[in-house]
Amino acid sequence: MIKISDFEIGEGQPPYIIAEMACAHDGEIDKAYKLVDMAVEANADAVQLQIFHTDEIVVPAHHLYPLLEKIQFSPQDWVALAEYAKEKKIHVMVCTYDVPSVALAVKMNADGIKLNSADLLNFDVLKAVSDSGLPFTLGTGASTLGEITTALSFLETLDTDNVILMHGVQNFPTAINDLNIERIKLLKTLFQMPVGYHDHTDAELEFSRYVDLIAIGLGANVIEKHITLDRSKKGTDYQAALEPEEFKVFINTIHTAHTALGSMKPSILSESDKKYRTFQKKSIVAIKELKQGESLTRDKVKFLRNLSNGIAPSEFDHMEGKQVSRDIKAHQNIEWKDIE
Q: Domain boundaries in the chain?
A: 9-261, 271-338
Confidence at 272, pLDDT banded by 50, 70, 90:
confident
Instruction: Express each pLDDT in 299-323 by its tens digit.
Output: 999 999 999 999 999 999 999 999 9
pLDDT for the residue numbered 34: 98
- Same CATH topology for 9-261 and 271-338: the answer is no
Instruction: With a cut of 80, say whether residue 263 has pLDDT above it.
Output: no
- CATH number of 271-338, picked from 3.40.50.80, 3.40.630.30, 3.90.1210.10, 2.130.10.10: 3.90.1210.10
Q: Which CATH class is domain 9-261?
A: alpha beta
Segment 210-227 mean pLDDT: 97
Q: Chain centroid to CA 210: how far?
A: 12
Asked if pLDDT for residue 264 goes beyond 80, the answer is no
What are the pLDDT digits (tens) for 173-187? 999 999 999 999 999
Does the pLDDT of residue 265 top 90, yes or no?
A: no
pLDDT at 188 over 80: yes
Check whether 267 has a pLDDT greater than 90.
no
Helix (H) or strand (E) holding 189: helix 183-191
Residue 142 CA to residue 119 CA, distance in Å, equals 12
Q: What is the predicted pLDDT for the residue at 227?
A: 98
* Helices of type H across 42-165: 54-57, 65-71, 75-87, 99-107, 123-132, 145-157
Could you tell me the pLDDT band of residue 273, with boundaries at 50, 70 and 90?
confident
Burial label, 132 (beta-carbon count in 10 A; 0-12, 13-18, 19+): middle
Whether the predicted pLDDT of 159 surpasses 80: yes
Tell me the torsion sign for CA atoms 168, 169, 171, 177.
negative
